[in-house]
Structure 1
Amino acid sequence: MDSKALITAYYDAFNAGRTDDMLAMMHDDVEHHVNEGGIRKGKELFREFNKHMTTSYKELLTDIVVFANEAGDRAAAEFVVNGTYLKTDEGLPPATCQTYRLPAGTFFTLRDGKIARVTTYYNLADWTQQVVG
């Protein structure tokens, strides 16, 4: 599978809520660089992150555009996150099922036909403004 197809399949799985399919596309030593946070290393920590996210947020990504370099080892995606804040996340405003729409982007490193790094960026201040109202 080429790099654009891999990233497209990753986001298809995300939108369908198939986190196990997302994990299958990950390299065993995947690094997840968190927006305004640390680095999670390994599939198990990525699995835990996904579990937390699906408990606290319901999200659908739209307007996805995937880019990749010719070597096939780096890719990026730009998209819009359409979400509902379901359960209060530690350190963030209280959740009352607020909706939000947020532009975001992710950078990927690919190795051995799998995703080896995921770095997602979005504007947390914009998200906070939307959920606080």
Structure 2
Amino acid sequence: MDTKTLIQTYFQAFNEGRTDDMLDLLHDQVEHHVNEGEIRRGKALFAEFNAHMTDCYREKLTDLVVFADDSGDRAAAEFTVNGTYLKTDEGLPPAQGQTYCLPAGTFFTIRDGKIARVTTYYNLAEWNRQVIG
């Protein structure tokens, strides 16, 4: 599958809560660069992160636009995160079912037809402002 389709399929799986299908699209040595966090290496840590996020947040991504370079080795996506804060996440404000809406972006490296790097950025200060009220 071409790079744009790969990334669109990844985000479709996210929106449908099919995190195992997301894992199938990842390279075995995937690097997950998290906004404001440590780099996670490998599918096992990516799966652990997804489980944690599913426990604390319910999110749907809209307004998705996917870009890819001519080689298909690098891609980016811009989107809006529409979420509900379900369970208090360590180091963050208490969760009380607050909703939030944030612009975000993700950068990808593709290797061997799989996603080898996922780097996501969003404005954490704005997220805090929205959930604190």
Q: Could you give the per-residue CA deviations for residues 96-115 of structure 1, whole angstroms, max 9, x where no partner exists?
A: 00000000000000000000
* Structure 2 equivalent of residue 19 of structure 1: 19
Match of 2:52 in 1: 52
1:74 aligns with: 74
| Aligned partner of residue 88 in structure 1, secondary structure | coil
Partner of 1:128: 128
| Equivalent position SS for 2:101 | strand
| 1:42 and 2:42 aligned | yes
If the length of structure 1 is used for normalisation, what is the TM-score? Answer: 1.00
Structure 1 stretches of at least 4 aligned residues deviating more than 6 Å after TM superposition: none
2:102 aligned counterpart, secondary structure: strand
1:47-126 matched pairs, under 5 angstroms? 47-126=47-126
1: distance between equivalents of 2:8 and 2:129? 30
What is the match of residue 9 of structure 1?
9
Secondary structure in 2 aligned to 1:87?
Answer: coil
The alignment covers a number of residue pairs equal to: 133
Percent same amino acid at aligned positions? 75
Structure-2-length-normalised TM-score: 1.00
Cα deviation code 1:61-111 (max 9, x no counterpart): 000000000000000000000000000000000000000000000000000
CA RMSD of aligned residues (A): 0.3
SS of residue matched to 1:35: coil
Matches of 1:62 and 1:72 in 2, distance apart? 23
Alignment gaps of 5+ in structure 2? none
Matched position secondary structure for 1:79: strand
Structure 1 stretches of 5 or more lacking a match?
none
How many Å separate the matches in 2 of 1:47 and 1:10?
Answer: 14
In structure 2, distance between residues paired with 1:109 and 1:49: 19
Q: CA deviation at 1:36?
A: 1.1
Structure 1 counterpart of 2:3, one-letter code: S
